[in-house]
Amino acid sequence: MLDFAGKRWWYLGFSGIFFVAALVALAMWGLKPGIEFTSGSTFTVQFLERSVTQAELRGAMRELGHPEARVQGSGENTFIVRTNELENAPSLTAGAGPTPPGEIDDIERGLRERFGALERKDFATVSGSVSSEIARYATFAVVAAAFAILIYIWLAFRQLPKPYRYGACAVIALVHDAVIVMGLFAVLGEFRGVEVDTAFITAILTVIGFSVHDTIVVFDRIREMVSHDPYVPFEEAVNASLTETLARSINTSLVVLLTIVSMLLIGGETIRNFLLVLLVGIVAGTYSSIGVASQVLVAWENHDLARAWRRLRGGRAELAAEAP
């Protein structure tokens, strides 16, 4: 039987380094919101006759009256261009049907004159009111999911002493996973121009579900051991549960990761960010079920933080007494 609980501060310290780094990245740069969360227009264009660089395309957009345009590479000679909201442009919420010529047609005509034949693959625009509504609902979805998970696990483990601890530790683990993913995308947004969209929120919710599922498997095994033998030391119950479920957790995650990596290699640009969230989130979720949720539960059960706080306060009292 492996001694996971005895080395819990090593596990928590390792995850804490990544967690703090992710928080620093979020505080410094934040997430770069996509069109769904801020008003504007976006389109994807592929040039067919000659090779075009991002700098050339930015310069062309500036000459066409859009110096605010942001250009991001999206494959061979293909770019995603985002501008302020264009006039006479079909909205993401608009119904189907023909639309009159608008600014996007003028931009397409100007780019064709400069760079030759091109293909506009997609186009969408979102107004400010719609983007704020999407952002509000996305935030609500994540918060509601975390709250529902807390209540569900609390009720599922209600026959154990202090069942709320299991729910709280599961939520701590999923917050750990979500923050690490968001920290990575803050870095990618700053240095690679990667934006977050509604697919990012969907992927975050998927990661939360995967993380909680893995955590519940471990917690359920702990519940079985504690219920069967109430006098077994809690650390021993956690170590036995983790040892028994370790192979299952790793094998399940490896199968999912192999599928995601395959899709990353052969899939298109449109789902790449979604798959990247899943890739990082599942790795973090597998680790957090072993090295975060279970170890926080042991530390809470053993009153480690309370003892550390009392020791800290005692040290401060001794310093105060020694002061002249």
Q: What is the mean pLDDT of residues 152-162?
A: 87
**Lowest pLDDT segment from 47-61, 93-107, 171-185, 196-210:** 93-107
Q: What is the pLDDT of residue 321?
A: 52
| Whether residue 112 sits in one domain with residue 236 | no
The answer to whether the beta carbons of residues 299 and 7 sit under 8 Å apart is no
Whether 168 and 262 share a structural domain: yes
Is 255 buried (19+), middle (13-18) or exposed (0-12) by CB count in 10 A? Answer: exposed
Specify whether 203 is located in the same domain as 65.
Answer: no
Higher per-residue pLDDT: 50 or 99: 50
Residue range 28-43, pLDDT digits in tens = 998 888 777 777 888 8
Contacts by residues 221-230 (CB-CB < 8 Å, ≥ 24 positions apart): 221/245, 222/294, 222/297, 223/157, 223/159, 223/160, 226/160, 227/159, 227/160
Looking at the structure, tell me whether residues 144 and 224 fall in a common domain.
Answer: yes
Model confidence, pTM = 0.77
In a domain? residue 317: no
In this prediction, residue 281 has a pLDDT band, given cuts at 50, 70 and 90, of very high
Do 76 and 201 belong together in one domain? no
Q: Which CATH number fits the domain that encloses residue 78?
A: 3.30.70.3400
Same domain, residue pair 148 and 276: yes
Q: Which CATH number covers residue 147?
A: 1.20.1640.10
Q: Where does the pLDDT of residue 138 fall: very low under 50, low under 70, confident under 90, or very high at 90 and above?
A: confident
Task: Report the pLDDT value the prediction gives residue 88, as an integer from 0 to 100.
Answer: 62
Position 179 scores a pLDDT of: 93
106, 126, 146 - which closes a domain: 126
Has residue 307 got a pLDDT over 70? yes
Mean of pLDDT values over 32-55: 84
The residue out of 104, 126, 148 marking a domain boundary is 126
Amino acid 128: pLDDT: 61
What is the per-residue pLDDT for 187?
A: 94
Of 80, 95, 126, which one is at a domain's C-terminal end?
A: 126
For the chain, what is the domain count? 2
Mean pLDDT of all residues in 273-298: 92
Co-location of 139 and 225 in the same domain: yes
State the pLDDT at residue 135: 73
pLDDT(93) > 50: no
